[in-house]
Chains A and B, each alone.
Chain A
Amino acid sequence: MEMKGVIFTFDAMLALAIVIVLFSGIMIFNLAEPTTGATQSLRYTNATDSAINEYLTGGITKDDLPSDPNTNCKEFFEFSSDVVLEVRKCI
């Protein structure tokens, strides 16, 4: 079959396409989410500060702590599905 005006074969173009797809794939797999560890740590510290301050000024007393730890508690913080950090205030 005579094909005029075609300089690359179909195989060559297919190879080129595969190279581009592989290159894109490797690049995307190398992308990583920026870490947010410091921010999470800061939130945890702030929650701890609040809890200690409330304890020292009588905001939380022994009678307020229920026998069932899940009773009357409010979750302050919750993060992604992979890492869950909860700070609870129980009343």
Chain B
Amino acid sequence: MKNGNELNREIIHKILDGDAAPDEQRDMLARVQADPALNEEFAELSRALRSVRTSERMPVPAFFTAEVMRKLPKKKMALKQRAWNFLFKGRALTWNMATALAAVGVVVLVFTQVVRVQNRPVETAAVSEQEQTALVRLSFHAPQARHVAVAGTFNKWKVDTHVLKKESNGLWTINLPLKPGAHTYMFVVDGKAWVPDPNAQSYDDDGFGQKNSVVRVSL
């Protein structure tokens, strides 16, 4: 319940704010005239109001509201809520041209590498061949030879990667892991003489006037 002074002060504020009804204003002004204390209070409030209205307005600094809000004590959130906000809360992204160009550069680089790898032609044989191999034993009788190697389609005709081992009675042998299919080969004796396997499964023209040996592997 408001007392008389409080009611009078409330009506004075309404008059000064221009919110009082005409009758209310007339009655109050009559009471102010009659009561010196009330008159003094009314005069003081009127001066203060005039002073505020005539004083120069200070501009509100930018981000004033945001800064005030930031300084307000934060409501403590549960860990789950904080994690949710971290992942899904909407964010305003500040960016500059250099960062944007760098990001575009990274995307273009990744994209071109993906396209390059995907479009890189692959030898068809290499794609479809099974990884399974069969062990094929080749032997060659050459007692006088100092070195015997085998070169063929399976080793790109390299003369130094598949060397036969000399066993007793001048027999040279090697066990070759070969993939399914036909393989052509020749023995290379002492690094210079190309000799077909005398007992190969079959032979085929090598296109240069010699005969390659043929071995067929099936699993």
* A, B: real partners: no
